């Protein structure tokens, strides 16, 4: 787990010296509050516990008792709370929420919806130790109905944290949630409790996406429609924490300070509990959501030593320099602005055709790696509650939209989509199927298979079998297994394989094609290079010549692609790019597919092969071929070719 807190361990830490500093700050009449707050907020919680122990050893007194005696009001609550360990702090907040006549349901919701399993277990143990009571029994006594049931489920700390996602279960959970709510009259609350209370965060994020496709509304909107009262508020909090814990807390902080009064207990609780975990992320979310820094909101809403302590926990003002504003969040916000700017001032939009700043979008996407683009996608959804790819589809058009969306997908998602596009409709783009399956590694094929099943709810193998036939189908099915051997050439076996291929040249076409498939689709590339060398020795012919002469149609194209890819993959792609652009028309899909899929792998080598083979640079060929017009901004593709 990556911690993004504002409070970290102080260097050159000396607990005895710190204990003495605090003792001196509190002795005599009055106390040096600035010295206390500066020291406490510049030490981690673990270091504060060492200071408490050193204070008792050095002065025979309880530091927390002395702080309570010397300080007053909100400042006292804040400093004393900082001195407790996180489990004991959470335990006290829960105890305060359920004791007495009333119940603070918002506090229960905030804590139990946002803590992980370990934090739950530690908090329950701390509650038992501090109050000699069972937390679960106290919550059961103080709450009721489905609200109580969900709190108890969360309190068990049994949420799956393995990170393993079952695509079939994702689909089933989405259907079950829809059936439990929007699809029927009334609501099956137990189904909502079971799924949202136990599944992993990663799993539930995918369930929410699948649910939105089925119900045509977000899970949050369905919860608002189907549930009510404290149970509705609890389930919304759980869903929001699944989406983004930092965004959940950013919204809670804003609500604690907006309006005339300040919910100081909420403000103190959140600033303390998140200061060492994700305060930097909360600040980013706050700035994006409200166009104002958390720092400045605290400045405007609090005062005195209480304010100074909160500002130290906050750690910095994002309105000044954005130093804690990571690039992914900045880019997500920028891309939102690029689409949002065209959706304001509707009267103006009626009078003047709206225009998306395509150059700015291109500039962002072109200068980020795929891994960085995935961070932007996640930040866009977490911070703005919108799907970046959907927004891009609505804002861009034709081939530029294909190109930008292709770059925003993961490589596995992109390959899966290209395979689907190659098989959809009446015709089949056999060249695309061959190009992808002949050039991908086992790992890439496995990832593509998973992405295809997740996106289209059936296996890629089934789709291929439905859309192709004969030996060509068998070749593709063999390749889509992702079971090609890996490792160096086996010289003795390479000689035997070459001899088998040479002998197969004298057999009938069916036997020949089956033998070629059994070797070309299963052996490692390094092994096949040696096989091809030995084949020449047995036949005095290159294997490419044999394939061209003895085979035909898609089978010939598939085997030829494998051989070319084995011998020199960049050369194979250079040839595919040349064919995509030569002549009067441009095969835009092939051009986009290759540029997107190879830009972070071997585009430099492809450019080199293109220049050597065709005596013109790929950059010049893209420009001279009029591709910039066909791609509605494809001039960038040539720039991207150069830049990448």
Task: Express as a percent the part of the chain with pLDDT over 90.
Answer: 68
Is there a single domain that holds both residue 497 and residue 594? no
SS3 annotation, 503-533? HHCCCCHHHHHHHHHHHHCCCCHHHHHHHHH
Half-sphere exposure of 319 (CA within 13 A, CB side): 12
The beta-carbon contacts of 27-33 under 8 Å, at least 24 apart in sequence, are 31/70, 31/71, 33/71, 33/75, 33/305
Residue 475 CB neighbour total at 10 angstroms: 28
- What tens digit of pLDDT does each residue of 212-265 get? 999 989 999 999 998 999 999 999 999 999 999 999 999 999 999 987 788 999
Mean residue pLDDT across the chain: 87
134 token code pair:
């069972």
Domain co-membership, 487 together with 510: yes
Count the Cβ atoms, other than its own, within 10 Å of residue 166.
11
**Residues whose CB falls within 8 Å of the CB of residue 542, separated by 6 or more in sequence, listed in order:** 532, 535, 536
Mean pLDDT (whole number) for 368-372: 89
Structure confidence at residue 94 (pLDDT)? 97
**Using CA atoms, how far apart are residues 600 and 453, in angstroms rounded to an integer?**
25
In a domain, 81, yes or no: no
- Based on the structure, what is the number of domains in the chain? 5
Please tell me the predicted confidence (pLDDT) of residue 639.
Answer: 44
For the chain, percent helix, then strand, then coil, each to nearest 5? 75, 0, 25
The CATH code of the domain that includes 381 is: 1.10.220.10
Domain coverage including residue 401: 358-408
Clarify whether residues 493 and 531 are in a common domain: yes
Task: State residue 189's pLDDT score.
Answer: 87
Cα(26)–Cα(478) distance, integer angstroms: 77
Helix, strand, or coil (residue 385): coil
Residues 623, 616: Cα–Cα separation, whole Å: 11
456 and 489, same domain (yes or no): yes
Residue ending a domain, among 156, 177, 196, is 156
Indicate if 551 and 579 belong to the same structural domain: no
Residue 560: pLDDT band (50, 70, 90) is very high
Q: Across residues 327-346, what is the average pLDDT? A: 57
Mean pLDDT of 415-432: 93
| Lookup: tokens for 306 | 């209480």
Tokens of 452: 């295809």
Sequence-ordered list of residues with C-beta below 8 angstroms from that of 442, at least 6 positions apart, any chain: 482, 483, 484, 486
Rounded-to-integer distance, Cα 26 and Cα 9, Å = 24
Whole-number Å distance between alpha carbons of 641 and 621: 11
Would 264 be classed as within a structural domain?
A: no
Residue 635: pLDDT over 50? no
Show the tokens assigned to 144.
């009721």
392 shares its domain with 474: no
Percent of the chain predicted with pLDDT > 70: 89
Instruction: Give tens-digit pLDDT for 179-217.
Output: 887 666 657 888 899 999 999 998 999 999 999 999 989
In a domain, residue 80? The reply is no
C-alpha to C-alpha distance for 559 and 465, rounded to whole angstroms:
18
Q: What is the pLDDT of residue 276?
A: 95
Asked if 33 contacts 71 with a C-beta cutoff of 8 angstroms, the reply is: yes
CA-nearest of 83, 142, 152, 77 to 120 is: 152
Does residue 628 have a pLDDT over 60?
no
> Is 50 exceeded by the pLDDT of residue 502?
yes
Q: Is residue 2 part of a domain?
A: no
Which of 178, 210, 243 lies at the terminal end of a domain, its last residue?
243
Residue 145 domain flag? yes
pLDDT tens for each residue of 285-328: 898 888 889 999 999 999 999 999 999 999 988 776 444 455 66
The CA-CA-CA angle for residues 81, 82, 84, to 5°, reads 70
Q: How far apart, in whole angstroms, are the C-alpha atoms of residue 37 and residue 308?
A: 8
What is the rounded CA–CA span in Å between residue 390 and residue 411?
18
The SS3 call for residue 234 is helix
When mean pLDDT is compared across 45-59, 377-391, 397-411, the lowest value belongs to: 377-391
Report the pLDDT value the prediction gives residue 619, as an integer from 0 to 100: 84
pLDDT score at 260: 77
- Same structural domain for residues 480 and 542? yes
Is 555 found in the same domain as 433?
yes
Whether the pLDDT of residue 630 is over 70: the answer is: no
Distance in angstroms (rounded) separating the CA atoms of residues 330 and 322? 9
Do the domain assignments include residue 60?
no
Tokens at residue 17, please?
């010296």
pLDDT bucket at 359, cuts 50 / 70 / 90: confident
Higher pLDDT, 551 or 634: 551
Whether the Cβ atoms of residue 214 and residue 221 lie closer than 8 Å to each other: no
Same domain, 432 and 519: yes
Closest-CA residue to 516 (of 498, 537, 533): 498
Residue 625 has pLDDT above 80, yes or no: no
Task: Indicate whether 547 belongs to any domain.
Answer: yes
Pair (130, 113) in one structural domain: yes
pLDDT value at residue 346: 35
Taking only the tens place, the pLDDT of each residue in 561-591 is 999 999 999 999 999 999 998 877 788 899 9
Q: How confident is the model at residue 642 (pLDDT cuts 50, 70, 90)?
A: very low
Same domain, 557 and 439: yes
For residue 262, tell me if it sits in a domain: no
Alpha carbons 85 and 51: distance in angstroms, whole number:
12
Tell me the pLDDT band of 143, cut-offs 50, 70 and 90. Answer: very high
- Same structural domain, 581 and 550: no
Segment 466-474 shows an average pLDDT of: 94
Confidence grade of residue 338 (pLDDT, cut at 50, 70, 90): low
Residue 395's pLDDT is: 80
Model pLDDT for residues 24-55, shown as the tens digit of each residue = 999 877 789 999 999 999 999 999 999 999 99
User: Which of residues 203, 218, 243 is at a domain's end?
Assistant: 243
Q: Helices marked H in 60-217 — which ranges?
A: 63-70, 73-83, 86-98, 105-114, 117-131, 135-142, 145-155, 167-180, 189-198, 201-215
């Amino acid at each position: 787990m990556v911690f993004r807190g504002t409070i970290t361990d102080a260097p050159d830490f000396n607990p005895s010296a710190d204990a003495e500093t605090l003792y001196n700050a509190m002795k005599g009449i009055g106390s040096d509050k600035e010295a206390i707050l500066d020291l406490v907020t510049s030490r981690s919680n673990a270091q504060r516990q060492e200071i408490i122990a050193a204070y008792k050893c050095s002065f025979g007194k309880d530091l927390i008792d002395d702080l309570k005696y010397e300080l007053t009001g909100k400042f006292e609550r804040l400093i004393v709370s900082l001195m407790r360990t996180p489990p004991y702090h959470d335990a006290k907040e829960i105890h305060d929420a359920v004791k007495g006549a009333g119940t603070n349901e918002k506090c229960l919701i905030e804590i139990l919806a946002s803590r992980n399993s370990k934090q739950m277990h530690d908090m329950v143990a701390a509650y038992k130790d501090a109050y000699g009571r069972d937390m679960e029994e106290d919550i059961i006594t103080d709450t009721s109905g489905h609200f109580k049931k969900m709190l108890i489920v969360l309190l068990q700390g049994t949420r799956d944290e393995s990170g393993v996602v079952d695509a079939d279960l994702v689909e089933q959970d989405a259907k079950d949630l829809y059936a439990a709510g929007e699809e029927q009259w009334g609501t099956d609350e137990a189904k909502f409790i079971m799924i949202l209370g136990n599944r992993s965060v990663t799993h539930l994020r995918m369930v929410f996406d699948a649910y939105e496709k089925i119900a045509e509304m977000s899970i949050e909107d369905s919860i608002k429609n189907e549930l009510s009262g404290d149970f509705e508020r609890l389930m919304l909090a759980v869903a929001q924490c699944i989406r983004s814990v930092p965004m959940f807390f950013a919204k809670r902080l804003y609500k604690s300070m907006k309006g005339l009064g300040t919910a100081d207990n909420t403000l103190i609780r959140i600033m303390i509990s998140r200061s060492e975990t994700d305060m930097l992320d909360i600040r980013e979310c706050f700035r994006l959501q409200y166009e104002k820094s958390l720092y400045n909101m605290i400045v405007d809403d609090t005062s005195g030593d209480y304010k100074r302590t909160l500002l130290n926990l906050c750690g910095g003002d994002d309105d000044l320099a954005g130093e804690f504003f990571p690039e992914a969040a900045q880019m997500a916000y920028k891309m939102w602005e690029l689409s949002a700017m065209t959706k304001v001032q509707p009267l103006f939009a009626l009078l003047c055709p709206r225009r998306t700043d395509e150059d700015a979008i291109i500039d962002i996407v072109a200068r980020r790696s795929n891994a960085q683009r995935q961070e932007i996608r996640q930040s866009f959804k977490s911070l703005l509650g919108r799907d970046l790819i959907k927004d891009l589809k609505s804002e861009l058009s034709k081939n530029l939209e294909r190109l930008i969306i292709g770059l925003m997908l993961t490589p596995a998602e992109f390959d899966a989509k290209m395979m689907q596009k190659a098989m959809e409709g009446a015709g089949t783009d056999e060249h695309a199927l061959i190009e992808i399956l002949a050039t991908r590694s086992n790992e890439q094929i496995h990832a593509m298979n998973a992405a295809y099943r997740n996106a289209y709810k059936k296996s890629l193998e089934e789709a291929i079998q439905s859309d192709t036939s004969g030996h060509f189908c068998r070749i593709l099915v063999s390749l889509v297994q992702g079971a090609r051997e890996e490792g160096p050439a086996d010289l003795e076996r390479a000689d035997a394989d070459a001899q088998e291929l040479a002998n197969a040249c004298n057999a009938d076409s069916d036997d020949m094609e089956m033998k070629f498939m059994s070797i070309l689709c299963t052996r490692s590339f390094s092994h096949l290079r040696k096989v091809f060398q030995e084949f020449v020795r047995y036949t005095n012919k290159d294997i490419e010549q044999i394939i061209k002469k003895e085979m035909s149609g898609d089978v010939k194209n598939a085997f030829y692609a494998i051989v070319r890819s084995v011998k020199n993959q960049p050369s194979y792609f250079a040839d595919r790019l040349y064919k995509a652009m030569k002549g009067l028309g441009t095969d835009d899909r092939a051009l986009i597919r290759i540029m997107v899929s190879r830009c972070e792998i071997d585009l430099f080598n492809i450019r080199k092969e293109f220049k050597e083979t065709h005596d013109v640079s790929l950059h010049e060929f893209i420009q001279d071929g009029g591709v910039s017009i066909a791609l509605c901004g494809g001039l960038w593709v040539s720039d991207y070719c150069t830049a990448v």
